[in-house]
Amino acid sequence: MAHRSLYPRPVLVEIAVVGSLNLDTTVRVAHLPSPGETVLGTGHFSDAGGKGANQAVAAARLGRRVAMVGLVGDDDAGVTLLRSLADAGVDTSAVGVVEDIGSGIAVITVADSAENSIVVDPGANRVLDGDRVRAAGGLLGSAAVTLVQLEVPIDAVVAAAACAGGLLVLNPAPATTLADDLLRRTDVLVPNATELGTLLGDAAPVGAEEAGRMATAVHGPAAVVVTLGADGAVVVEGGRVIHVAAPVVRAVDPTAAGDAFCGGLADALVRGLGLVDSVRWAVRCGAVAATRWGAQASLPTRRDVEALEAV
C-alpha cells in the first residue's frame, strides 16, 4: 500500500481537527430494524460525513479558520470528501490520499422517531497514524483549539494531543475506554451519555442530574461536558455542575448534531467565551443540525444559530 502526501508550510488557523472523513449513505425508515429484521426504506441520499470532517465544516460555517488532518482513499469518494471540505473553506493541505484503499464510508439508518443507527467502515481512516499527525505538528501547534475524536486509530489521537498548542477538545466517539495520560492532556472532554457510561465502565446515565454525578467521577480532563440531546448538556468544571438546557426544536435527523455541538463549542472557545457560555452556544448549534437531514448538509451557519436564539 502506497501513501502520498506532502504537508506544506502550515497556515495560521484557529481550529485544527484531527479525525475521520467518510462518505455517508442515509436511509430513512419508519423504525430501526431489530436483529434479523428487514425494513423497507422510504428514501435515501449520500452526503459527506465522518466525525472529524463534520466538526471541521461545522466550525468553518460558523466563521472560523479551520484546517483538517486526516486521510481519504484514492477514489471518487475521496474527491467528494475533499471538495466538501474545500467548499466550506476548510484548509485540506494536511489531508493525505492513500492508494490501494478506499475512503471511509458510513451507512446510517434514521427512523421517523429521529433515532438512528450507524455502521462505519473506516477505510483510509484506519491507517492514519501518529507519524502522519506529527507531520502536521506545526499546524496543530499554532491552532487555538485542536478537536479530536475516536474514528481514527488511538495512536493518531495521542499524537494530536501531544502536538496541540492550544486547548485540546476530545470527543470520545465511538465509545471506548481511554488511557489516563490522554485524559490528563485533555482540556475539555465531550462524551454523550452512552460514551460517559463506557468511560466509567457503567450504564449510561439517565437525565442531567445523574449525568452530572457521573461526570464528576471522570478524572484527568480539566472539564467534562456531557451532551444529552434534547436535554441539552451538563458542564462539570472546577467542582461545579451546571445544566445547560437546549432549545425546543422538531428533530428529524440527529446524525451530525453532536458534531455541530463540538464545532460550535470550539468556535465559542476561540472567541474567548467561558466554558458554560460556550456550551450554551454549542447546544443551539446542535439543535439546528438536528432539524435537518444529513451530516454536513445539516450543519448551520452563524446566522442560522442566531435566528434560533431569537425565537
The residues annotated as belonging to the active site are: 259
Task: Compute the distance between CA of residue 148 and CA of residue 221 in angstroms, rounded to an integer.
Answer: 14
Residue tagged 426544536 (cell numbers): 249
List of residues 6+ apart from 258 with CB closer than 8 A: 51, 171, 173, 192, 227, 286
**169 DSSP β-pair partners:** 147, 188
Query: Cα–Cα distance between 200 and 178 in angstroms, integer?
Result: 10
Q: Could you tell me the maximum CA-CA distance found in the chain, to the nearest angstrom? A: 53
Indicate the pairing of strand 22-29 with strand 104-111: parallel
Residue 250 CB neighbours (<10 A):
7
The candidate with the shortest Cα–Cα distance to 259, out of 288, 218, 230, 220, is 288
Using alpha carbons, list the distances in angstroms from residue 22 to 46, 53, 54, 78, 292.
11, 8, 9, 8, 19
Which residue matches cell numbers 493518531? 156
Read off the amino acid at residue 219.
Answer: H
Sign of CA dihedral 232, 15, 99, 25: positive
The amino acid at 45? F
Query: Is the dihedral angle over the CA atoms 205, 210, 212, 214 positive or is it negative?
Result: negative
Closest C-alpha to 168, from 259, 74, 89, 266: 266
